[in-house]
Every structure is written in C-alpha cells, then in structure tokens.
Structure 1
Amino acid sequence: MTIAPARHDGEPGLSAWSDAHLLHALEEVVEKELNRHLKVAKEWMPHEYVPWSDGRNFDGVMGGEAWAPEQSKVTDIGRIALVVNLLTEDNLPSYHHEIATLFGRDGAWGTWVHRWTAEEGRHGIVMRDYLLTSRAVDPVELERFRMAHMSEGFESDNSHSMLHSVAYVAFQELATRISHRNTGHHSGDPVCDRMLTRIATDENLHMVFYRNLLRAAFELAPDQTMAAVRDVVTGFRMPGHGMPGFERAAARMAIGGIYNLRIHHDDVLQPVLRHLKVLEIGGLGPVGLAAQEELGLFMGGLDDQARKFDERRAALEARRAARAA
C-alpha cells in the first residue's frame, strides 16, 4: 500500500482527512485484512452446537409444556447474560445498516461488511436455538424483548464519523468476546460454554480486523485517530444499552463477574491501547497531543473507579457468605 506522508491533521491551518479520503486510502488495508481473515476463519455449523434431543414442544398452538424457571440448566446470572447477549446480536440489521452506510457496499469494504454480517448472523441463530431447545429462558419474555429492542433500532454514539466507528468496533468486538466467554464460564452448562467459546473465537477475529485497521488509520491521520479513540474510550457504551431492562441486567452482570469496570479496563481497553502503543505515539499535533493526554488521564481514573468497584463487590460477597453461613 502506498501511503501519503502523514499530516499533522490537528495543527491549525492544515486540512483534516475526510471520511471519503480515508475510506479510499484504507481500501488496500481492508483488502489485505479481509484476505487474512478468510484464511484463518474456520467454517462451523450452528446446528452442531445445539442439544436438539433435549427439545420439546412449548404450550400454545403445539399444546406442549409451558416454560418454568426450574427447566433451565443455566445459572441465574447465566440466564440474564444470555438474554442480553442474544438481544445484542438480534439488532444485526441495524448494525449492518450503520456500517454499510459508513463503509460502503462496494469493493473490499463492501465485501467485508457483508462477510461480517453473515458471521454475526450465525451467532444469533445458534444462541436462539440453544436457548429455546434447552429451555434456558422464558421464550415469551425473550420474544417480547426482541420485538421491543429491534423496534427501537440502533444508532451509534459516534457521530457517524468513519474513524470513530473503526475505533468503536475495535474495542466493542473485544468486549463482546469477553462477555460471551465469561457468560459461558458462569452458565453452569458445558454445552452453553462450548457454544459461546465458538462464538467468542469469531468475535476475536473481528476485533483483530478492526484493530489492524485502526493501526493503519494512526499511520495516516494520527491526530484525528487519536481524537476518535479518546472520544470512544471516554464515552464507551455497549450496543445493547437501549434494550429493555439493560441497566438492571448490566448491574447484575457486573456483580456476577460477566462484565464490569475491572474487566472493561483490564481485558478490553488496555489490551488494544497497549497493542497499538496508543499512549506512546509521537509526532502528534496539538489536537492529538491533547487527546492523548486526556486518554491517559481517563484510563488512570477508570482504574481507580474499578478498584473501588472491586472493593464494593468483595464486601457484598462477604456479606452474602456471612448470611449463607
């Protein structure tokens, strides 16, 4: 790839890169990363991860058995996290619209957008089939939540900037991978754990794609990219934040060790920032330097918040253990 000399796009008097210019400049990187992804991604079949022999009819038109909580093999925290994770995957049409609008539907960008959508679609398929077949969750409540969540759609918090979107998905795909893996570990069902491990493998490959793209963006437009990363990290929200009861579910997941401030800091933000050496990048203009400094201060403050959360969580667990004793 031929890259134009890096411009100090944060300095007064020098023009910034437009989204159209960046999309064109990064096209060869996208093609390279797409080819790498296709070589390492392994085909897998959703139906192979579903315990079909456990299935039976529900009540309603089939005259089967109504769902009851005791039928579920998964833990309470596992059930909460599974619903959140599936509802997040269910909003795939909105996500596809967002990234297709930003990245386009032609060339390497378009090929990636469609491939990513197809792979993410498998996640929703296998999770729903598992949940219904194993009777892990209330099917009526799940469908009502799906209708409510998808009826709202999804709109990113990233001002529809191409760089903001690339930065966001680099962190979000890793966050999703971590959420799936921890949900599997806390589910209490080996079948569920195996399924979510398979999904998490895909999410990790998606993260690598976007992380490598973000690296290339830093080479092209360091100041703009640093500002975008600063904005995304300081205002990060998971894509499921608009679903019914998300705040309460997120609080339960935080206490249950599925996803919380400590995990967000240590296992999501820090790995990406360290891999790209974001806080060590030199040659920045005033805008980039200010964003880099703000990002470093934010990460220090987040670590302090995570430490306080750890202390509160430990105290809560101690009280619960005392009551149980």
Structure 2
Amino acid sequence: MSTDARTTPPRGWLHDLEPIVETQLHAHLMRAQEWFPHQYVPWSRGRDFDGPLEGAAWDDTQSALPPAVRASLIVTLLTEDNLPSYHHEIATLFGRDGAWGTWVHRWTAEEDRHGAAIRSYLHTTRAVDPIQLERTRMSLISTGFTADQPHGLHSIAYVALQELATRISHRNTGRMSGDPVCDRLLARIATDENLHMVIYRGLLGASFDAWPDQTMRALTDTVTTFRMPGHLIPGFNRMSLAIAYADIYNLRIHRDDVLKSLLRSVDALHRTDVGPEGERAREELAAFLAVLDDQKAKQQEKIEMRRAQLSSTEPEHRSRRASA
C-alpha cells in the first residue's frame, strides 16, 4: 500500500474543489429553510429545578421517553456541544476565505442551533439529569476533539458518512420517542443534516472524478476506521449498546442504510477509472464490507434475543403492576 496515497493530499485540492463548494453552497442556501429552535421546544412543560430558584429536584422517573431514546438524545447533545472543536478543525483544514470559508461558518451556524434546541427540549421535559449533563459537557469540551483524518479527502469522506449517519439516527430517535414534539424537532434537525450531507457527498463525487485512486484510498480508510465523533463521551459504549438494541442505530442500519447508500451514490464499488492503487483500496473495502455483513448478522441475532427476553418478561411486569 502506498504511503503517499494515505498521507499526501492531491496537489491543489482545495483550489480545485472550490468551484464545486461554491456551486453546492449556492444550492444549499436556496434549499435551506429558516427555522427557530424556540418554536420546537415545549416550554409549557418546563418547571424550575432545585437550586437558587427553589424548584423541584430532578429524578429519573420524571421523563416519559424510552431509555434508549434518552441515551440517543444525550449522545447527540454532547456531540453537538463539541462544536467549537469541530469548527476549529474544519476552519483549519478548509480555511476561512472564499467559498470554503463561507461554508465553514454557515455549517457552524446551522449546527449550533441543533444543540440549543435539543438542550432546551431535554430540560423542559426533564429527560436528563441537568447536573450530570453539565459536568459531562464541561469535561468533554475541556478535552476537545481532534480529527484523525490524514488529509482533506479523508475528511470529506468522513463528514459525508457522518452527516448521513446522524440524519438517520435523528429520524429513528424521533420516531421511537413516542412524543410528537420530539419527533418534529429531530425531523427538522435531520433535514439540516441531510443538506449538509448533500454538499459533502457532492465533494466526494467530484474528488473521485479528479483523483479516483486517492479518493478510493481515502474512502476505504474512512469506512474501515469510522467512529462517530461522540465516541469520547463518558459512557458512550454503554449508551451505544442501548441505542443499537432499540434499532435506533446499529450495524444493520450502518451497513444497509448508510454505507450502501453513500457507496452507491459515488459508484465506489463499480468505478472503471481507478488504477492499481485504487483497485487495491477497493478490494480492501469490499473485504471489509463482507466482514461487516457477518458482524451485522451476529449483532442482529443478539438484538432479537434481547427483544425475546424482554417480551417474555413483560407479562410478568404487567402482572406485578396490576397487583400493586
């Protein structure tokens, strides 16, 4: 495997892709709709917490949301809270001038309202321990986030994949919440994420057209090492397991709804313009997808077993509640 293909970006890639960014940005601004976080928050459900205002202390029984939905919302919010680090990373990579800089700032502005809306929703519905949430936020942002993509094409591949994964996770979380307010909020946020994905997917496709071998390598490296940016959150593995079992986001969804969709959109597995280096990367990608299929099947079997266990115990739980 060529070291240069991993670590050296194509010469002039920022300049060469800027016309694509400008076109995509113009289309984005035409499609994006203005919306206001405060209109998606159920303020009438809110009440004071304990503290200087002498409200009611929070406890775990005050939320009607399913535990996996709460876990998904908390992971989403804490991920959004690291926005200052994400902005620094992409502004350093893409720059602050021209179409790239305009897009960087626009993306940051749109992402910032996601966290504002979700935090307000969680607080008003008392779906989160506000003290624990704030302590975790302080710890996470104090640690920061550093992108580990080797160069620009890796970063483009990563954000195209991550934005699509986030969109699907948001929609599933909202649908499974049992709360129409939560569903509307996350559908609205998912619309933003989808528009972001469209820009990065367009850049990925343009990168393939310009540098097929290097882009295939970048995409393969990204797919085979992909982790969501929230993986640094304390308790992330535990919450991810709950999210997976609830069918909000798991290997099946990642493989079938995210990877297959993105790879198909850029024709990654069937391109005819790659050379020997790109073909080696594509073979690695195909081999990884085969392994992922096996892992997906094993995880799905565990999920079905878990559901069967919960179904078998539910009548007993109902009987206990009735007798109580």
Give TM-score scaled by structure 2 length. 0.93
Matched ranges for 1:300-315 at <5 A:
300-315=290-305
Question: 2:220 pairs with 218, 230, 241, which one?
Answer: 230
Q: Report the aligned-residue RMSD.
A: 1.8
1: CA distance, partners of 2:308 / 2:125: 33
1:19 deviates by 5.3
Instruction: Output the CA distance in 2 between the equivalents of 1:18 and 1:157.
Output: 14
User: Which is worse superposed, 205-214 or 54-63?
Assistant: 54-63
The two structures have a TM-score, normalised by structure 1, of: 0.93
Residues of 2 paired with 1:12 and 1:83: CA distance? 39
CA distance in 2, matches of 1:12, 1:227: 11
Question: Partners of 2:4 and 2:234 in 1: how far apart?
Answer: 47
Q: Tell me, in whole angstroms, the C-alpha distance in 1 between the residues paired with 2:272 and 2:210.
A: 13
| Correspondence for 1:79 among 56, 70, 73 | 70
Amino acid at match of 1:85: T
Return the match for 2:165 from 160, 175, 179: 175
Give structure 1 regions of 4+ aligned residues with deviation exceeding 3 angstroms: 10-14, 16-20
1:240–1:13: structure 2 CA closer, same or farther, 3 Å change rule? closer
Match of 1:221 among 208, 211, 215: 211
> In structure 1, which of residues 150, 161, 181 is the aligned counterpart of residue 141 of structure 2?
150
Identity among equivalent pairs (%): 58
Given the alignment, which residue of 109, 128, 142 partners 1:137? Answer: 128
Matched residue, 1:5 = none
CA contact (8 A) 2:122 2:128 kept: yes
Q: Residue 106 and residue 63 in structure 1: after superposition, are their counterparts in 2 closer, same or farther (change >3 A)?
A: same
Gaps of 5+ in 2: 316-324
Q: Flag structure 1 segments of 5+ consecutive residues without an equivalent.
A: 1-9
Kept in 2: contact 1:87–1:243 (CA 8 A): yes
Displacement after TM superposition at 1:286 (Å): 1.5
**Residues 13, 314 of structure 1: alpha-carbon distance in 2 compared, 3 angstrom cutoff:** closer
1:68: how far off? Answer: 1.6
Q: 2:107 aligns with which of 113, 116, 133?
A: 116
Q: Which shows bigger deviation, 254-263 or 64-73?
A: 64-73
SS at match of 1:289: helix
Q: Tell me if structure 2 keeps the 8 A contact 1:17–1:221.
A: no
Report the number of matched residues: 314
Residue equivalent to 1:291: 281
Q: CA deviation at 1:183?
A: 1.1
Contact 1:77-1:186 within 8 A present in 2 as well: no
Q: How does 1:1-325 map to 2 (within 5 A)?
A: 18=9, 21-159=12-150, 161-325=151-315
Q: Is contact 2:10–2:211 with CA below 8 Å preserved after alignment? A: no
Q: Tell me the SS of whatever aligns to 1:278.
A: coil
Q: 1:200 to 1:13 in 2, by over 3 A?
A: closer
